Structure 1
Amino acid sequence: MDFTSLLMWTGFILASFSVIGNDVIQTLGTFMSSNEKKPWWVLFIFAGSILAITLVYSWVVNNGDVSFLRLIGDPPDHSFENPKYPLPDPFEWYYLLPPLVLLFVTRWGIPVSTSFLILTFFKPRGLEDMMVKSLIGYAVAFGTAILVYVLITKRFEKKFMENPVDRKHRQMWTVLQWLSTGFLWTQWLAQDFANIYVYLPRQLGVTSLVISLLILLAMLAFIFYVKGGAIQNIVKSKTNTADIRSATIIDFIYGIVLFFFKEMNNIPMSTTWVFIGLLAGREIAIRWRLDNKLTKREIKGVLIDLLKVTFGLVISIILVFFIRWITG
């Protein structure tokens, strides 16, 4: 293995750990919260199997591309010879900076956008399109959550909070939640594989596919073992997210929104912004319907979460200018 390949694989490992540590909680956070009593390895086998199937599916269907064409772009405008996000040539050490920064901020529980932080570093000109799509994603998730939870809070969420799920219905809700989580997980992976595999060649061979898959599964197993880490606190802080029925509804809505944007076009987007928008809209609608008012606490919480993801965008822009300064 030459030095360039070593840098690329180092970047991939760092990106795997930082992206999974930061972003997976958006998708699997409610799943973890509502299944805390189950062994971590049971949850890992479920999520890991879906990850492997989704990765291999894209690799087979897209002739070696595992990013669902997020890095390649739609043919004939783009191809493996002319990808939308080409590998840097030469591949220098400073391309390892984004996942290293992400590792640092993740330890503090800050849900920064990995799409902005990593992909923008490889293609600064893609920032504008990515930012527009992500802001639209936030607005759509926020509006959808408010609409849905205004309609269902008193009929369903209030009952969920007052009446814990009984044994008779738990099995049914467990099946529904695992189905909704599986659907959401595939939609998230289709968006965020690009943030990790941007460090590897756009067309992977069998050996690289297997090695990278094993690395991803090891990282995912660790996240389940430590029960999500610091960012899981964002999920736990929201109203009744540990209830398996509430978690099922959240996952289903989130999955539908991501599916909509996945089908819209192949421009990468920040799933973090969509997730934060969904939780913000849900929290506002629930508190308004239950208390008939919004307190400064709810508004402050929404603004703080939005400030956290905006912080990731600012860091991304700073890094882009930094790399331009280094390279002259």
Structure 2
Amino acid sequence: MQLHQIIPLVAFILATYSVIGNDVIQTLGTFLTSNHKKKWWILWLYAAGILTLVIVYGWIVNQGDVSYGRLDMIPLPEKMAFWYIIPPLVLIILTRFGLPVSTTFMILSVFSSQAVIEKMILKSILGYAVAFVFAFGIYLLIAKKFESKESISRAEKEKSKKGWLVAQWLSTGLLWSQWLVQDFANLYVYLPRQLTLTELLISLFIILVLMALLFKSRGGKIQEIVHSKANTQHIRSATFIDLTYAIVLFLFTELSNVPMSTTWVFIGILAGREIAISYRLNKNEIGKSRKQIFRDLYKVNIGLIVSILLAYAVGMLNLMEV
């Protein structure tokens, strides 16, 4: 096997590792937090089963395209140079510092034209805004009943908690499936747009093994962002977060097949939620919530800037090679 054939496989493995360490925890973080007493492999089996169904279904109905059309505007380079490995390596480093970096921008930008990058940025900004407003509106209505200390304490003691446990697992399953439809493109951008059965099975095996490592470590560094938000360790709170997130992702899945940053949607959900809870339950905390929101925005914008710089750097290297 020649070097230019090895690079896509190595890049796919690195991208999978980096995306799982960064983006997956933003989708399954509340699930892991609220089910911290359960064995990690039980949670992994649930997530792995849904992932397998989504990827196999996409492969069958889309004639080998598991990205669900998200890579239609992003062609695979005829010859992939070694510098295409740089973005997932940078993403791994940033993830180690706990930065909620957008893997969509970090990975896909180096393959995309300026026009596609602009569309991804606009759709992601819109995603943040819609997520913020949607979450803010929902939590204005439900904060007092479901997010106050008294209601949380009662829920912990009630036998009906099992019902909320089922609801949270279902909402997580819905969210997980919608996130996969959006973010499979970030993994499979390094591989042919139509996979053979062998390529499908090998890539699926790699993803499931790396997911198992994440679940065993209970989320890693990025999980701290989930822990820092109010009540995320409680089943009811996790259920509402996951359901809100899933609805917004579904809306944007139907809007267009332009890739978008699910990280920005996630940050928007948490931001709208935090402001609404502070406003309804403790107005003295609004200033603190604003600081958290700006801190999270600062972190994701660092990733955006680095992504654009990487895209230009890779573009220049490609021109120099020609």
Question: Which of 270, 274, 277 pairs up with 1:279?
Answer: 270
Report the counterpart of residue 258 of structure 2 in structure 1.
Answer: 267
The 5 Å alignment of 1:3-42 reads 3-42=3-42
Instruction: State how far apart, in whole Å, the 1-side matches of 2:161 and 2:142 are.
Output: 20
- 1:89 and 2:71 correspond: no
Report the counterpart of residue 65 of structure 1 in structure 2.
Answer: 65
Instruction: State how far apart, in whole Å, the 2-side matches of 1:104 and 1:320 are.
Output: 17
| Matched residue type, 2:207 | L
Report the counterpart of residue 2 of structure 1 in structure 2.
Answer: 2
Instruction: State how far apart, in whole Å, the 1-side matches of 2:245 and 2:286 are.
Output: 25
Cα root mean square deviation, aligned: 1.1
| Matched residue type, 2:33 | S
Report the counterpart of residue 121 of structure 2 in structure 1.
Answer: 131
| Matched residue type, 2:126 | I
| Matched residue type, 1:323 | V
The 5 Å alignment of 1:302-321 reads 302-321=293-312
Deviation by residue 1:50-88 (Cα, 9 ceiling, x = unmatched)? 00000000000000000011112xxxxxxxxxxx21111
| Matched residue type, 1:147 | G
The 5 Å alignment of 1:97-116 reads 97-116=86-105
| Matched residue type, 2:202 | I
SS of 1:134's equivalent in the other structure is: helix
Deviation by residue 1:97-151 (Cα, 9 ceiling, x = unmatched)? 1100000000111000000111111013211000000000000000011111111
Report the counterpart of residue 77 of structure 1 in structure 2.
Answer: none
Instruction: State how far apart, in whole Å, the 1-side matches of 2:108 and 2:97 are.
Output: 22
Report the counterpart of residue 76 of structure 1 in structure 2.
Answer: none
Question: Which of 206, 212, 217 pairs up with 1:215?
Answer: 206
| Matched residue type, 2:47 | A
Instruction: State how far apart, in whole Å, the 2-side matches of 1:164 and 1:40 are.
Output: 24
1:253 is displaced (CA, Å) by 0.5
SS of 2:220's equivalent in the other structure is: coil
**Deviating 4+ runs (over 4 angstroms):** none
Instruction: State how far apart, in whole Å, the 1-side matches of 2:272 and 2:153 are.
Output: 22
Instruction: State how far apart, in whole Å, the 2-side matches of 1:208 and 1:320 are.
Output: 27
| Matched residue type, 1:21 | G
Question: Which of 140, 153, 168 pairs up with 2:159?
Answer: 168
1:25 is displaced (CA, Å) by 1.0
The change in CA–CA distance for 1:167 and 1:5 in structure 2 (over 3 A counts) is farther
Report the counterpart of residue 80 of structure 1 in structure 2.
Answer: none
Instruction: State how far apart, in whole Å, the 1-side matches of 2:257 and 2:170 are.
Output: 25
Report the counterpart of residue 136 of structure 2 in structure 1.
Answer: 146
- 1:120 and 2:118 correspond: no
SS of 1:133's equivalent in the other structure is: helix
**TM score, norm. by length of structure 2:** 0.96
1:91 is displaced (CA, Å) by 0.8
Deviation by residue 1:10-69 (Cα, 9 ceiling, x = unmatched)? 000000000011000111000000000000000000000000000000000000000011
Instruction: State how far apart, in whole Å, the 2-side matches of 1:142 and 1:13 are.
Output: 33
8 A contact 1:124–1:320 mirrored in 2: no
Deviation by residue 1:198-239 (Cα, 9 ceiling, x = unmatched)? 000001000000000000000110110000000000000000
Instruction: State how far apart, in whole Å, the 2-side matches of 1:86 and 1:205 are.
Output: 18
Instruction: State how far apart, in whole Å, the 1-side matches of 2:228 and 2:247 are.
Output: 23
8 A contact 1:160–1:246 mirrored in 2: no
- 1:200 and 2:176 correspond: no
Instruction: State how far apart, in whole Å, the 1-side matches of 2:134 and 2:91 are.
Output: 29
Which is worse superposed, 98-107 or 284-293?
Answer: 284-293
Instruction: State how far apart, in whole Å, the 2-side matches of 1:272 and 1:30 are.
Output: 14
Q: In the comparison of the two structures, how many residue pairs are matched?
A: 317
- 1:184 and 2:175 correspond: yes
8 A contact 2:25–2:222 mirrored in 1: yes
| Matched residue type, 2:21 | G
| Matched residue type, 1:128 | E
The change in CA–CA distance for 1:237 and 1:96 in structure 2 (over 3 A counts) is same
**How many percent identity over aligned positions?**
53
